Amino acid sequence: MVRFRLLFALILLATAAVPVAQAASPTCVAPEVKLSWPTTNPIWEMCWLGPDQSVGPRGSGMELRNVYWNGQLVMRRAHAPMLFAEYKDGFGGNCYRDWKDIRTPIFSLPAVQNQLGVNPDPNTPAAVTSCDRSDQPTQSYGTCPFALNTPGYTCANGVTIEDLGDSVRLTTQYIADWYMYSSRFVFYADGRMQPSFGFGNRNGTFNEVTHWHHNYWRFEFDIDGLGNNVVSIDNADQSIEFSDLRSAGGGIGGGPRTWSVRNAVSGNGYRFVPGANDYAFQANESGRDFHTVDFMATKAHVGEYGDTPSYDLFDCEMHKDNLVNGESIANTNQALYYHVSVRDTTANSWPPGCSGGNCLPQDSMVCKKAGPTLVPIGPWADYIFANGFDILVPGAHL
């Protein structure tokens, strides 16, 4: 613990000394909204859109565009255009491709509703989603205010933006019939980015049936200029589109395996480090072959925001071959997809064939969260990976 604290202190000291290639800022065009954090001498700047204004077939949740760190463009776009609910085989084969464009209120302080604000009480959350509230195996708390009565809090649609001192956190929530999904993105002063996704249930419908949820983020990096980005697996550069798993066998608890994208000339880049919860479930735990990969690196095409250009509620499968089809990704513009899965388990139903005390306890109404940390690498952040920290293990935090 002391070592991590010392490293973090060194990171903060070094941040001010990191040279920037340019001192630029995003230009946001309505309905985009500009965020600058801090408001004076900003470290992070970006344009954001709520779920109802996001691109893609039936939206892509909270969408971030033209993301700058210390005046340098990092990403052109970050969003989550593919979202699924998949039920255990035998439940009539039901599974769904959920929509991402209907926002639903968050219980929050007005100071952080669709604007950058500070929570005066750090001991209480400034924004509460259904996922934050859902901590009981079988109990539903409904929609906002989730059976809470907190003085000063109100229910509001959109994006909450919290100044946490060493970071800024954006949160949104959207609804797809039975389910309420929360999407968060934390940006740290040292350059780390941490997306997380929470899978919540609105009213308890079908909580007696074991099922899985799948979310796919999509990232378009633009580091030190278009056309020079290179993607790698554990530091091995890849020239052709590929898909990959967090562990070679596709099982639970594998890794650590990381993927990175960098500018081939400057060496500046970002590394995807899976979170501990990302290893909790296999990509294809249901065995139905609908979701079989954890990561994809594809060539970016204008207007391509996922595996299909149209929306079909009953299209249960993520069609990998529509995205990974042999195109070159060397020194070009890539779209990188990162997949997380969670399982909502019901009583006496998992693992298959279990009985009595051999079955896992029911947790179908407990919200699960997952997501990676994106860590800067290269000359603009060499200090982060000094002294043996080049590969971060699941669950380790700076």
**pLDDT of the residue at 5:** 33
For residue 247, the model assigns a pLDDT of 76
Pairing assessment for the beta strands 95-97 and 72-87 based on DSSP bridges: antiparallel
- Tens digit of each residue's pLDDT (9 = 90 or more) over 242-272: 999 987 654 455 556 889 999 999 999 999 9
Looking at residue 380, its amino acid is W
The answer to which of 161-170, 264-273, 286-295, 380-389 has the lowest mean pLDDT is: 380-389
pTM of the prediction? Answer: 0.89
**Is residue 184 a contact partner of residue 199, using CB atoms and an 8 Å limit?**
no
pLDDT per position as a tens digit, 63-77 = 999 999 999 999 999
Q: Is the pLDDT of residue 278 over 60?
A: yes
In which element (H, E) is residue 45 found? strand 44-49
Stronger pLDDT, 90 or 386, i.e. the higher one:
90
Beta strands in 245-345 (DSSP E): 259-263, 269-273, 295-299, 334-344
Give mean pLDDT, residues 361-379: 92
Question: What pLDDT does residue 41 have?
Answer: 93
Domains annotated on the chain, with CATH: 2-385 (2.70.98)
pLDDT tens, residue by residue, 211-230:
899 999 999 999 987 678 99
Euclidean distance between CA atoms 314 and 11, whole angstroms: 47
Q: What is the mean pLDDT of the chain?
A: 86
Mean pLDDT of 97-125: 94
Q: Using CA atoms, how far apart are residues 26 and 46, in angstroms rounded to an integer?
A: 6
